[in-house]
Amino acid sequence: MTSQINVCGLHVAVDVRGSGQPVLLINGLGGTLGLWQALHPDLTDFEVISFDAPGVGRSTTPRNVYSMSDLAQFVTRLLDTLGYDTVDVVGHSFGGALAQQLAHQAPERIRRIALVTTTCGWGGVPGTLPSALMALTPFRLWSKRMYTATVPLLAGRHNAEADLLRAFAAERLRARPSIRGYSNQLLAGWTWTSLPWLASIEHPVLVVAASNDRLLPLANSQILATNLPNARIFVFEGGHYLLLNQESGAGAAIADFIRSADLNESETWRTAHVVSPDDLDDSLRSRKRWSPIAFPHALLRRHWRSAKRS
């Protein structure tokens, strides 16, 4: 049931449904409550909490800019207000970055984490230029014609995801973020990296990756799975928005990972892969695409890898 609560002086739209182990869903850039629709059938035996981030959807926009650390503090206050001590977290894209920051700042509030088609921020691997440009502008969420035109650039060759993105056009345009809200999220993500402290996150982490993600390529998920000490990766056929497609199997895998009291009882966890540094190196070397944007990311990634070895 969707309601409005006050968190940090902001009116925040929150949806809480079901009963069982509480699971917090954290959406991607400019994403709203309605975009979790395809995941809910897989989570019927959980108490599922989702929300519109500040400046997004039906939540009010703060006057000041904020960092990823500020957003993690906001989520902690949200959990306090709703009365949850510990939750499992599913973070998609930008929400996956925020889930990492939350685990770093408030590790006691989280049991398990699913990071879906996301990144470590700086030190990651940029996507294609057209998809990156589309993500950088909020105006695609203000015009149905522009939204429809940009779908192929984000979904790539995955027709099912493209069709689902078009089907969500009404929801995205009706509950679009404010310009300031979208810009705040962009700034928070653009100035953030988790590489310096990823190794300190001890939670079990399921890294859910897409085989053909144009926005945040598969290598980003492999970087996370390599640097997180208790992480495994599960790669699904699809693109960046594979969670919109219930038939992808990603939602069922996440539910199995969260549901199992013992991780060894989780089929998802048993069949997911551990990524070694050598596996990651092979994957990064196999990438033929190069851009000036990728160069500083690679330098930062190399720096933190050298620092970790020393």
In the block, tokens 């404010």 appear at 178
Q: Is 93 a catalytic residue?
A: yes
Of the candidates 214, 206, 208, 207, the one whose C-alpha atom is nearest the C-alpha of residue 239 is 214
Is 263 within 8 Å of 182 (Cβ atoms)? Answer: no
Q: Is 8 exposed, middle or buried (0-12, 13-18, 19+ CB in 10 A)?
A: middle
Check residue 138 and report its DSSP letter.
Answer: G
* Residue where the block lists tokens 């149905």: 144
User: Which three-class secondary structure state does DSSP give residue 61?
Assistant: coil
Beta bridge partners of 80: none
d(CA 164, CA 245): 7
Catalytic residue among 93, 131, 266, 283: 93
Who contacts 140 (Cβ-Cβ below 8 Å, separation ≥6)? 134, 146, 147, 150
The catalytic residue positions are 93
